[in-house]
A and B are shown apart, each in its own frame.
Chain A
Amino acid sequence: MNCREFERRWQELLDERQRPEADAELVGHTLSCPACREVLQTQQLLTTTLAQKAIEPPPELADRVVEQWLRERTRSASLASRRAGSAWAPRWRPWMSSAVAVLLVVGVTLLVFRTADSIRPELDRPAHPGMASAVPSSDAPAGQPHPPGTVDPHTVAHLAAYRQWLTSVSTHLDRMPRAPVDELTGSLRPVADSVTSALSALRRTLPIVDRDAPNRSPQAWLPPALNVT
């Protein structure tokens, strides 16, 4: 056996987790080769040292790991519960908000018009003490000719009553407090904002928006002389 063969065999035995110093052939070579003998002795020393050397972890390592694990578990548990509580929210919140807003607007509109309907009989009464009823009374002479250049009193009465009705609807909307909106929508700010916007839009669509400027469109067609409030 030469030195090259010695090394190959030596590595093989170590790979197989065997003891090279117990191999007769290797030991035989070391008797005539001081260099290989020293290699074998050094390797024996290294193996023994590695086997005897006890590497102890720091005593607090396990505590540190467990504490950190507990902290992470607590944090992830709270995060998970928070996510579970609002899992549906990101996907459904916009739809839910819109649906609630639409329902509320419809409800409020119905409420407003029902209230307006309750004053509708005003149309059947004189809009003003000094005026004729908005609806021509049955004893009024229907189709009675009126002087040229004047408006038919029946038409005047109808217009006045209609105007009064519109005014009452608008007033009702104006006086409607914000509180019920907030109460109904609770903390859902998008819903509250939607309802408020919808009510404003409804208010704007009514013919009488600004009672201080009654002759503005769409009432501008009403002659000033007939403007009865």
Chain B
Amino acid sequence: MTDSTAQLIAGCLSGDESAVRALVERYQTAVFAVCLRMLGQREDAEDAAQETLLRALRSLASYDPNRAFEPWLMTIAANRCRTAISNRVRRRQYSELPEAIPDPTPNEMDARQLEEEVDLALERLRSDHRSAFVLFHERQLSYAEIAEILDRPVGTIKTWVHRARRELIAFLRAREVVQESYCELP
């Protein structure tokens, strides 16, 4: 944990509104990114991110300053997302939503389309595999930290990340997103 984060946390605990705002602004992008990756839908991600940040602020008094702050925050985010996913599954039992899959346009794919393809590929992953992958590759967290966040053994997390990579590559290959012009191997 950086010193400034520690100071911000101390400020939050003393009720300093500016410290609360600064802490939220510092971590909102990371929290929102993880929520978006795990939930796949922006509205759900916004709700989950807001709830995550609020819960973190409420629980700051019980936060152990010897632990890294971001993994602690991501644990809360992962829990919120899991709850949202289970709620969504319940909702879908009543109304099956048709999944919008954009038309593949592999030969004239710009950066935006490529992002959409990657998002789609991520959405197709199993939620726990996706969470592990996102936390490892996007949030750059270690396997040990992810294991703590997702409450699974390190070996399981490693397996999930490996599977996620394989499935993502397989999906993107099937969508023919790779062209020689995009990435040239040395």
Contact = CB atoms under 8 A, between A and B. Distances in A.
A38 B54 contact: no
A83 B118 CA distance: 53
A49 B185 contact: no
B178 interface: yes
A53 B118 contact: yes
Contacts of A45: 114, 172, 177-178, 182-183
Contact of B165 (A11, A21, A64): A11
Q: Is the interface of B mostly helix, strand, loop or mixed?
A: helix
Contacts of A66: 17, 20-21, 24
A37 B57 contact: no
Contacts, number: 104
Interface footprint category on B: 35 or more
Interface string A5-46: 001000100110100011000010010000001111111111
B169 A43 contact: yes
Interface residues of A, number: 39
B137 to A, nearest CB: 6
Contact of A44 (B138, B168, B183): B183
Interface majority SS on A: helix, strand, loop or mixed? helix
B151 interface: no
A194 to B, nearest CB: 43
A22 B186 contact: yes
B138 A65 contact: no
B185 A21 contact: yes
B118 A49 contact: yes
B34 to A, nearest CB: 9
B111 interface: yes
